[in-house]
Structure 1
Amino acid sequence: MSTQAFDFGKAVFHFFNVAGRKPAAVLWIGLWQALLTAGLVYLAFATIGDFYFWIISQAVTGHEPNETEVLTRLGSTMTVMPLISIGGMLIALMAQAAWLRLLTRGEMAAVIPFRLGGDELRLFVTNLGLLAVAMGFYFVSLAVTVMLVGGVVAFAGGNGSTEAGLAGGFVAAMIFLALVLAAVFAAVRLSAAPATTILEKRIAFPAWSMTRGIFWPLLGAYVLVAIIIGVLSAIIGTVLNITLLGAFMPLIGEFAELAQSGSQPPPEEIMAMLEDVFTRPGVLTSITAVGLLSVILRSFADAVWHSVGASVAIQRGTVEAAQ
């Protein structure tokens, strides 16, 4: 495989090129991910939120929660949480597969872009491989860090000098830095595995050959994409936060008046004020709209990140097939 078969510009702007060609598909996948995530968040809020609101109401009214009732409510919440966690992982897997299908094969499932099939199963296995590598790095780094700290302490204590401690600390820091760099190297070299798995419809882990000879330009592409995502997220996030802040201005004004008057309303009155604000149609609409837009934008950010690996899989896979 030619080490020159990599277009930096295509890798960085691959998502935007696809979005320009198929804007409806991009919006449809983002909308479905937002709706499914919103449904899961609502379910989590309905279970966990109900428990915490009950605890708060008991504290506000000065009642001592009954231990049996606390355990009963907590048990019901803990029963649902594993299901919510599994649902979250399934949504994330289906979203990743949907984006990679669009970014690599230009395909989107009809009507409902999310599904559970062969692509998702192969991607799940590939992700397990990536997770195993990440966990391996984590435990190795943890073990090395513990040994380094112990070694530095023993070395400094044995020599009884500040210079010995500084020297040992410097060596430990250099070894830890080397582990971080090794983790970055592995992450970049393995980054094309998910996209290659979807593109070639096979478990492509670790897809090491896909990134051979292009580590530095590929690392640069990920750094630039991270900067683009960060800047766009900051700008759009500021607009959304200002919009949401406007919905809470009446409540902020009421609290400001209370502060100026020096009055201290009882907790029951504060809870009533909060309940009144959160039940207003305008506030509920604003929170829902901002929440959905935030999830859609988060979905787009994930797609932009995945698009770098997708571009690598397309560019390098084409050259490999030709050879």
Structure 2
Amino acid sequence: MTAFSATDAALEGFRITRERPRVVLVWAVFSFLVSICSAIYLISIGQEARAVLDARVAEQAPDLQAFGAAMADLAPMMVMGLLVQCVMAAAVYRILLRPEDRGLAYLKVGMDELRLAALTFIYVLLASLMLAVVVLAAGLIAALASFAGQGAAILVAAASELFFLGLLFYVAVRLSLAPAITFAEQRIAIFDSWRLTHGQFWRLTGAYFLAICGIMVIALLVVTIFSALVAVAVGGDLQAVGKMFAPDQTSLTTYFSPVMIIYLLVAGWLSALYYAVVIAPAAVAYRELTRA
């Protein structure tokens, strides 16, 4: 059976950043510019829309009409966010699967990116449908178990919830090569990953786990060091440091403080590193599993 090294796949993104620093620098600048545009757009939509979103994040119950209006205001930014993700993913795929197709630091906007966007949209719909079915099934099982008593119902509900979460995770891993297949074969491959990943679940899980852990450790270290430097620069004012993570969005002037701009630059580099590290394992797995 054809296989691949989970460790090599997990570390491939770090190898890209080490061997192609100029490419990563362009990605970082691109991510920084996207952050700037996103911030400008969020500030421009007004305080009322942001208040609705903040209520949603805090799990409060916003007015449905106001929430619908806020979602309509945010729709262009969400579309742009999806496109940016697909552009960055395609850039990583180009390095590993089509290195001769350079573009500007492997960044392009074309049919490859549109196919990835279409695949993402299809998967969001399928995931929503599957989640609804799982919730319905778990509720039905809990209702049937309630005839045996409250204790049995709680136990069965917890067990069924864990089972269905595990099932969703298993399906997600088995289908995780779909974007790489879609890019490499230049067609929307919705379920082709299922056949290709037969017998590879644990290798893929290990590769993804190692990659995510690696980028989380780096991000934590970078943010901690940067926060400490800012704290020293402002005389130990921790409240000023906290404003980086909850900036004043009432105007462009209050938002784009010198500290915030530097923070966005650092975040841009971390974003570029994140895409390289997280996207690369699937591309490596596809390349090795399809190698004759």
CA contact (8 A) 1:189 1:215 kept: yes
- 8 Å contact from structure 2 (residues 178, 189) kept in 1: yes
The counterpart of 2:16, out of the listed 18, 26, 50, is 18
Larger helix fraction of residues: 1
Residues 134-160 of structure 1, C-alpha deviations (whole Å, 9 max, x = no match)? 21321112212332343344x15xxxx
Gap regions ≥5 residues in structure 1: 54-73, 157-163, 255-273
What's the offset of the Cα at 1:29?
2.0
Q: Aligned ranges for residues 25-44 of structure 1 at < 5 Å?
A: 25-44=23-42
Task: Please list the CA deviations of residues 99-156 of structure 1 after superposition, one character each: whole Å capped at 9, or x if unmatched.
Answer: 3222332356433754331101221232233223321321112212332343344x15
Structure 2 residue runs of 5 or longer lacking an equivalent are 52-66, 241-247
CA distance in structure 2 between the aligned counterparts of 1:49 and 1:292, rounded to whole angstroms: 25
CA distance in 2, matches of 1:190, 1:129: 13
2:81 match: 88
Q: Identity of counterpart residues, as a percentage?
A: 25
Partner amino acid, structure 1, of 2:162: L
Task: Name the structure 1 match of 2:206.
Answer: 220
266, 269, 273: which one aligns with 1:296: 269
For the structure 1 residues 234 and 184, does the alpha-carbon distance in structure 2 shift closer, same or farther, using more than 3 Å as the test?
A: same
**SS at structure 2 position matched to 1:106:** coil
- 1:292 to 1:89, Cα distance in 2 relative to 1, 3 A: same
Separation (CA, whole Å) in 1 of partners of 2:78 and 2:239: 38
CA distance in 1, matches of 2:150, 2:239: 56
1:98 corresponds to which residue? Answer: 91
- Residues 162-201 of structure 1: matches in 2 within 5 Å? 164-201=149-186
C-alpha displacement of 1:48: 2.7
Q: Find the partner of 1:118 among 107, 111, 122.
A: 111
Q: 1:43 to 1:128 in 2, by over 3 A?
A: closer
Partner residue, 1:63: none
Question: Does the C-alpha gap of structure 1 residues 216 and 29 become closer, same or farther in structure 2, counting only changes over 3 Å?
Answer: same
> Is the partner of 1:13 in helix, strand or coil?
helix
- The separation in 1 between residues aligned to 2:174 and 2:69, in whole angstroms, is 44
Residues 143 and 115 (structure 1), Cα distance of their counterparts in 2 relative to 1, 3 Å cut: same
Cα distance in 2 between the residues matched to 1:125 and 1:210: 21
Q: Tell whether 2:231 aligns with 1:245.
A: yes
1:191–1:309 Cα contact (<8 Å) kept:
yes
Count the aligned residue pairs: 267
* Pair 1:167–1:124, CA change in 2 (3 A): same
- After the TM superposition, which of the residue ranges 116-125 and 141-150 deviates more from structure 2? 141-150
| Cα separation, 2, equivalents of 1:78 and 1:17 | 39
Q: Which amino acid aligns with 2:4?
A: F
State the partner residue of 1:264.
none
Please give the root-mean-square deviation of Cα atoms over the aligned residues, in Å.
3.3
Cα distance, 1:202 vs. partner? 2.4
Residue among 126, 141, 150 paired with 1:148: 141
Question: Would the aligned equivalents of 1:34 and 1:299 in 2 still touch at CA under 8 Å?
Answer: no
Q: Which residue in the other structure is 2:245 paired with?
A: none
* Deviation per residue, 1:202-231 (Å, 9 max, x gap): 222222222111111211111222221221
User: Which stretch shifts more, 171-180 or 295-304?
Assistant: 295-304
Tell me the distance in 2 between the aligned counterparts of 1:193 and 1:51. 35
Q: What is the alpha-carbon distance in structure 2 between the residues aligned to residue 136 and residue 75 of structure 1?
A: 21
Q: Which has the larger radius of gyration?
A: 1
Where 1:43 maps in the other structure, the secondary structure is helix
**CA drift at 1:44:** 1.4
Which segment is superposed worse, 300-309 or 142-151? Answer: 142-151
- Could you tell me how far apart the structure 2 residues matched to 1:130 and 1:104 are? 23
Paired residues of 1:98 and 1:108 also in contact (CA < 8 A): no
